[in-house]
């Protein structure tokens, strides 16, 4: 439990302006995921004890690149157990998050966690990205596939009006050498997560921003 406390302290250090409610919601994540993971394996067993670093803090790296204005609409594709969507939804209660995955049991966990935390700004559904209706300011994901395939799934789902410093588009968490899969996307910008967080886990991890044009 000491490790969990230390990891939670890192989140409080990185995000010092959390309300008491937000702090409580983040603190509840460990017990919620440990409980659900025993029933439905959504996080690898070895990672559950590093939940706050490998899942929560990793998700929140997106915020170091772009925070979300009230009224923003965000799609999380291939959310798995709810990452990055759930931590982002805690941090931005006035932003709407639509978390999707093709695997029903993962969505069941996400819905249960969102309900336990009383996150009114989260909708979770089992659906393929290609079948999603609606337009979004940003589409987030955590290494669900390669960028060309991902873009083909979501390129028609971007809102026309920009209201953030970064242009509407994809905010993608991925590690390793991305030069090959990004070679056809010259407008992509890479941000090293190691510039934000000191843990060795983040050494090769990136946030990729890819602006996408509105397609009517």
Specify if 188 maps to a domain: yes
Specify if 179 maps to a domain: yes
So what's the pLDDT on residue 144?
87
Specify if 40 maps to a domain: yes
Specify if 216 maps to a domain: no
Q: Is 53 helix (H, G, I), strand (E, B) or coil?
A: helix
The boundaries of the domain holding residue 106 are 2-211
Count of structural domains, the chain: 1
Specify if 60 maps to a domain: yes
What is the arrangement of strands in the sheet containing 189-192, beginning at the earlier edge strand? 122-126, 96-101, 73-77, 138-142, 169-175, 205-211, 189-192
So what's the pLDDT on residue 1?
66
- Tens digits of per-residue pLDDT, 62-96? 999 999 999 999 999 999 999 999 999 999 999 99
So what's the pLDDT on residue 5?
82
So what's the pLDDT on residue 200?
96
Angle between helices 20-39 and 2-14 (to 10 degrees): 140
So what's the pLDDT on residue 2?
66
> Distance between CA 92 and CA 87 in Å, rounded?
9
> Distance between CA 5 and CA 14 in Å, rounded?
14
Specify if 183 maps to a domain: yes
Domain of residue 119, CATH code: 3.40.50.150
Q: Are strands 169-175 and 205-211 parallel, antiparallel or unpaired?
A: antiparallel
Specify if 197 maps to a domain: yes
> Distance between CA 81 and CA 168 in Å, rounded?
25
| pLDDT tens for the 216 residues of the chain, in order | 667 788 889 999 999 999 999 999 999 999 999 999 999 888 888 888 899 999 999 999 999 999 999 999 999 999 999 999 999 999 999 999 999 999 999 999 999 999 999 999 999 999 999 999 999 999 999 988 999 999 999 999 999 999 999 999 999 999 999 999 999 999 999 999 999 999 999 999 999 999 998 776
Specify if 75 maps to a domain: yes
């Amino acid at each position: 439990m000491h490790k969990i406390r230390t990891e939670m302290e890192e989140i409080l250090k990185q995000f010092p302006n959390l309300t008491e409610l937000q702090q409580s919601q983040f603190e509840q994540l460990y017990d919620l995921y440990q409980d659900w993971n025993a029933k439905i394996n959504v996080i690898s067993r070895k990672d559950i004890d590093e939940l706050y670093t490998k899942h929560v803090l990793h998700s929140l790296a997106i915020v170091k690149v772009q925070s979300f204005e009230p009224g923003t609409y965000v799609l999380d594709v291939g959310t798995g157990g709810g990452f990055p969507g759930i931590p982002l939804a805690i941090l931005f209660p006035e932003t709407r998050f639509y978390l999707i995955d093709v695997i029903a049991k993962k969505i069941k966990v996400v819905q249960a966690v969102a309900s336990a935390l009383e996150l009114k700004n989260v909708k979770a559904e089992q659906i393929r990205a290609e079948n999603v209706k609606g337009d979004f300011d940003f589409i987030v994901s955590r290494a669900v596939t390669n960028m060309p395939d991902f873009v083909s799934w979501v390129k028609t789902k971007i809102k026309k009006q920009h209201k953030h410093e970064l242009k509407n588009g994809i905010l993608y968490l991925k590690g390793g050498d991305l030069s090959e899969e990004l070679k056809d996307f010259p407008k992509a910008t890479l941000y090293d997560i190691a510039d934000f967080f000191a843990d060795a886990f983040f050494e090769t991890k990136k946030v990729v921003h890819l602006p996408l044009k509105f397609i009517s």
